[in-house]
Amino acid sequence: MTTTRSETGTGENLAETFSQYVPSIEARDIVTIKERYGLLIGGEERQPRDGGSLTTIEPSSGEPLAEIAEAGKADVDDAVTAARAAFEGGWRDLSPRVRAKYVFRLARLIQDRARELAVLESIDGGKPIRESRDIDIPLSAAHFFYHAGWADKLEYAMPGMRVEPLGVVGQIIPWNFPLLMAAWKLAPALACGNTVVLKPAETTSLTALLLGEIVQEADFPPGVLNIVTGAGATGAALVAHGGVDKIAFTGSTGVGKMIGRQLAGTGTRLTLELGGKGAHVVFDDAALDQAIEGIVDGIFFNQGHVCCAGSRLLVQEGIAETLLGRLKRRMDLLRVGDPLDKNTDVGAINSHAQLQRIEEYVGGAASEGCEIHQPDAELPERGFWFLPTLVTGLGGSERIAREEVFGPVLTVQSFRTEAEAVAKANATSYGLSGGVWTEKGSRILWMSQRMKAGVIWANSFNQFDAASPFGGVRESGFGREGGRQGLEEYLRLEPVHS
Ligand code: NAI
Ligand code: MG
């Protein structure tokens, strides 16, 4: 018997709705890409006053897609001024219930335009449509829904505290999850009553700009969200501006550290979500089939452009050979290619610069004596591509064993005891994520108490939820996004004495 969607009664399920949909050539037609995009300042699209423009590329072809504005210092200043005016001119004093309605409406409109957002995300950034469609866009909407719910309950979230928004927040986001990172940052900021100047990443600004249009459609007061596109210099101008109450940054550890030094002592609040080098630890009692799926998802999801990727596999000695054999066979099945093909597992590398970085790491590992394994597959001729890769034969001191590659590259080491697994897992300066695969509950607790990471997954990997706080320790940064904890990052809290 065949079951139709209406019979299952789950037609409301976003992922299921989308699985009926076959994006291919005609999928491109559902998005309109303009030749040139401006900045969003004070509710209006504007060309830069003192900046230039840059070209956003389609990674799967390497061809130009559109020109986007590059905001200069004067434009950043205009955006901060507009955000301040919107904050003081009413957004701050709006009833929390009304604020909640705005955020809720935004969440609904993102759902309404989910297909368009998903296709645009895959075209501009190179990620498989299956991921943008089932993960990035639904999770973005979920973040707005979740935070809309908090907007009028902040006093309950922070008992005994007087709760105030911070004011104007500058948010600088990366290119790996363009819309989702915008949502992670915007949803709590707006729900808590702040206004925002958002700086998208230079290779992937289009969905943020479409979100800007959706915010206008949702009738937000002008200046509550301003978008300044541009590269590092635009981000640096926002950090150096001095008129923002907080900077929230997600990106490389190098830039994050620089921002930290720059803001030290200024009173500007700061949260940093930086790189990672997550360890995926598999014990010999683990359910191997599931572990292999978790490992594959942990490193090949989004071409490995994931700060919390499980990029270091640590496997217990007794099962190492079996696991690696099966992992290689599984990797042979991964389909690398057209991001708009719904059967694609691994899409295009986000930019030429990132491809070069990945090639340099893997080339370096080979010259340091490591073995490199890749499936025997053909890559498209045009565009930026890198095959899923395993690196074995590591000593542990190689660059690839310690630094973030941010590509579909998994290093493999073995361990004998739990203590050795912990020592190897912690042998990096990062501390964002980790995974443990074992049937023993006590071992999961023992390991997660000792692994230095902000998030540890047990017998799973890459699970995200708006209600769950996400963030790092050590050089992976500080501050949390999501959950009740994430709200605190956008609020000024004062104890109430009575
Ligand atoms: P990046 O840190 O330069 O870029 C992230 C964002 O920061 C972008 O919006 C960029 O325009 C902005 N930015 C750059 N320089 C800035 C500055 N001086 N002041 C303020 N904002 C600035 O990262 P990039 O160069 O794109 O990638 C390099 C490496 O960084 C990757 O290979 C990866 O290892 C890591 N990375 C990690 C991310 C994460 O989610 N943890 C995200 C992006 C990159
Ligand atoms: Mg692009």
Atom of ligand 1 minimally distant from the CA of 275: 41
In Å, how far are 219, 229, 239, 358 from 53, measured between CA atoms?
28, 9, 20, 27
Between 9 and 15, where is the model more confident? 15
pLDDT at 51: 79
From 244, 255, 277, 404, give the residue whose CB has the most ligand 1 atoms within 8 Å, as the site to mutate: 255
Confidence of residue 441 (pLDDT cuts 50, 70, 90): very high
* CA-nearest residue, atom 14 of ligand 1: 232
Task: Output the CA 47–ligand 2 centroid distance in Å.
Answer: 20
Is 398 known to be catalytic?
no
Q: In which residue ranges of the chain is CATH 3.40.605.10 found?
A: 31-274+475-495
Task: Specify the CATH superfamily of domain 31-274+475-495.
Answer: Aldehyde Dehydrogenase; Chain A, domain 1 (3.40.605.10)
Atom of ligand 1 minimally distant from the CA of 407: 32
pLDDT at 27: 84
What is the distance between the alpha carbons of residues 338 and 122, in angstroms, rounded to a whole number? 9
pLDDT digits (tens, 9 = 90+) for 31-45: 999 999 999 999 999
What is the distance between the alpha carbons of residues 350 and 203, in angstroms, rounded to a whole number? 8
Q: Whole-model pTM?
A: 0.94
pLDDT at 207: 98
Is 368 known to be catalytic?
no
Q: In which residue ranges of the chain is CATH 3.40.309.10 found?
A: 279-469
pLDDT digits (tens, 9 = 90+) for 289-312: 999 999 999 999 999 999 999 999
Judged against a pLDDT cut of 90, whether residue 405 lies above it is answered with yes
CATH topology for 279-469 is Aldehyde Dehydrogenase; Chain A, domain 2 (3.40.309)
Ramachandran assignment for 297, one of left (phi > 0), alpha (psi -120 to 50 degrees), beta (any other):
alpha
- Catalytic, out of 307, 398, 404, 489: 307
pLDDT at 24: 54
Task: Output the CA 63–ligand 1 centroid distance in Å.
Answer: 22
Judged against a pLDDT cut of 90, whether residue 7 lies above it is answered with no
Task: Output the CA 248–ligand 1 centroid distance in Å.
Answer: 13
What is the distance between the alpha carbons of residues 39 and 71, in angstroms, rounded to a whole number? 7
Q: Average the pLDDT over 206-226 and give the result.
A: 98
Residues in the chain: 498
From 73, 252, 306, give the residue whose CB has the most ligand 1 atoms within 8 Å, as the site to mutate: 252
